[in-house]
A and B are shown apart, each in its own frame.
Chain A
């Protein structure tokens, strides 16, 4: 609710326009998790949001009101523990036990996929209980740079006035509808403009796009539409085949089964040549060209919907120098989610998937989903605190006897490693002067491309054949080698075989010879 001029004098909202060390834009999961971390680290910052309340995209989507990401009320790990986070994809992370695993307590038991409303409540409850302060109803509109005597500033022009800051974080999601320049696509409302399902009763519906949004619509329209066609040039990817979040999720596979059983849904590999109104104007004629070759095919339908994806709403940041790439126009980022081309601008939340990491074996990280982005945001908060505000967290010193059980526990249960495979790593430093210390969770790409003291990085990784296994990267004398540990049918990485492998690698690092000098504190290894 932007105030009018008369109201401005008595506007009780926090963070009025002005100068702040750091400004965070957005109040979805990314903005909330980052603000939580920054506050706990004592970094002063302002959070502004165009929305009237927390929740980000979950205030509106998914269209059919049920999430794709699960929270298991009953799981192999006790609710509220760190290990439980592996089974709860939707709660944000908190240090206080009472603020953890909130989503599980806010579900009605009808599904282990929360409803959209339950997810929105989960985020609002977290924001309220954790005391996250946001100036709502304040829309970021433009950005520029300014040189001052005190140094360079970003100026964020908003509906409420100007904010100046040294560091800006944009947690603005990837939810701006995108419509490609296909002739006639103006006749196809975007996914975001889909009407209530019952208004499609008895109609023939053509859906442009075969990703999750297209299949979500098709699933929701199955009880209503007379016939459904989904088309895009390449074959539909299925998550159960890709073994990742890339692909249509199992929940939305019903239209696909309907297609293969010839029940009234058609899933086509074809590019769209054009969409036009028929002479009478009441129906649409859609012409497609099969990817496999052959003649164009024409469909007459009653409705068309463009499930053609979303892009990041970066406004004028590209004009400021922020490089973007790819289908979603994501900003190019460093492994710590900083713009690769404009230092001082960072990204949190789903937009952080622009820092793609290694994508080993083609397996992406889960940075586009809450259960990946929440760890990125926590790490980003720590990074910004250290780099820009001098808040350095000393690494926890480990006794030599602690290292093996610590690593076994991490590869067995660390949710950061399980959710962000081959992307986030547990790093243990073996510094000849400072001894052995836990250097924390770090982006794997950062560890691999940074020169530093002897250290190891532990990850969980997967390949396209479905194998899941720990990988240990050992850095000695500036050279890093990859060691793939065996998998296990039940993903038990605490076996004698795994322990033996770890002992051998620790011997390579000469753990026994790295004893700190008396009285010296442990520190984070160089480059962390």
Chain B
């Protein structure tokens, strides 16, 4: 449980966890695991089973498909939820653009975590809705 208290403070500053009261923030800090990736390292690999859900604490990643960066994500952003929710391998690589520190929740734990923390689920839904709207606008 080392550093969980400090991590809970860090989570409090991220939009995804902004609605959680302190005891739940501390519990979330215990549920998630911290991970670190070096520049160029792949966090998600296209086509491989068994991926997870990630929230960026520091650094930046690129979503890379067909050798092209289709989106950049930074602090507070999350990724991997599509693959986890659909139970399918990722359809793109996610690559650290430079040193990147993040939180990781394994796919099997995501379902229960979201049901236990509906405010986090709502924030994910909001984000997905914005992405859908932007995609629709871009196509329209």
Contacts and interface: CB of A to CB of B under 8 A. Distances in A.
Interface in A190-229: 208-209, 211
A465 to B, nearest CB: 8
Contacts of A258: none
Interface stretch (A116-124, A356-364, A385-393): A356-364
B129 interface: no
A463 B47 CA distance: 17
Contacts of A181: 5-6
B23 interface: yes
A329 interface: yes
A247 to B, nearest CB: 12
A422 B36 CA distance: 18
A85 interface: no
A308 B106 CA distance: 23
A326 B6 CA distance: 11
B35 A356 contact: yes
Contact of A361 (B2, B31, B35, B106): B106
Chain A interface, >50% SS class: loop
B38 interface: yes
Given A326-B34, A327-B4, A329-B3, A359 B26 contact: no
A269 interface: yes
Contacts of A448: 42, 45, 48
Contacts of A484: 49
B49 A327 contact: no
Given A325-B101, A327-B3, A449 B27 contact: no
A464 B108 contact: yes
A508 B104 CA distance: 35
A158 interface: no
Interface in B28-48: 29-31, 33-36, 38, 41-42, 45, 47-48
A325 B35 contact: yes
Contact of A233 (B6, B27, B51): B27
Chain B interface, >50% SS class: mixed
A293 B106 contact: no
B106 A464 contact: yes
A263 to B, nearest CB: 25
A328 interface: yes
A178 interface: yes
A245 interface: no
A291 B2 contact: no
Contact of A323 (B7, B21, B36): B36
A65 to B, nearest CB: 24
A180 B30 CA distance: 13
B128 interface: no
A360 B48 contact: yes
A340 B6 CA distance: 23
A293 B50 contact: no
A180 B4 contact: yes
Interface residues of B, number: 39
Contacts of B36: 323, 325-326, 332, 340, 354
B23 A293 contact: yes
Given A340-B36, A340-B99, A358-B50, A327 B108 contact: no
> Which one of B3, B4, B24, B41 has the greatest number of beta carbons of chain A within 10 Å?
B3
A232 B1 contact: yes
A132 interface: no
A269 B52 CA distance: 25
B2 A328 contact: yes
Interface residues of A, number: 50
Contact of B23 (A271, A358, A359): A271
A16 B87 CA distance: 57
A476 to B, nearest CB: 14
B1 A449 contact: no
Interface in A447-481: 448-449, 461, 463-465, 481
Interface string A307-336: 011110000000000010111110010100
A176 to B, nearest CB: 10
Contacts of A289: 22-23
Given A181-B5, A234-B30, A449 B42 contact: yes
Nearest to A449: B42
Contacts of A310: 2
Nearest to B42: A449
Contacts of A481: 47
Contacts of B51: 360
B27 A269 contact: yes
Contacts of B124: none
B109 interface: yes
Contacts of A293: 21, 23-24
Contacts of B3: 178, 180, 326-327, 329
Interface string A415-444: 000000010000000000000000000000
B68 to A, nearest CB: 16
Given A326-B34, A327-B1, A340-B99, A233 B52 contact: no
A182 interface: yes
A21 interface: no
Contacts of B6: 180-181
B107 interface: yes
Given A289-B23, A422-B50, A449-B42, A323 B33 contact: no
Given A232-B30, A269-B27, A327-B2, A362 B52 contact: yes
Contact of B2 (A308, A360, A461): A308
Given A180-B3, A360-B51, A464-B108, 10 more contacts: A182-B5, A232-B1, A233-B4, A325-B34, A334-B38, A341-B38, A360-B48, A362-B109, A449-B41, A465-B108
23 contacts: A180-B1, A180-B4, A180-B5, A180-B6, A181-B5, A234-B27, A234-B31, A269-B27, A271-B22, A289-B23, A291-B24, A308-B1, A326-B33, A329-B2, A332-B36, A332-B38, A340-B36, A359-B106, A361-B50, A361-B106, A361-B108, A363-B106, A482-B89
Please give me the 9 A-B residue pairs with the lowest Cβ-Cβ distance, nearest first.
Answer: A362-B106, A360-B50, A234-B30, A464-B108, A325-B36, A178-B2, A361-B50, A332-B36, A326-B34
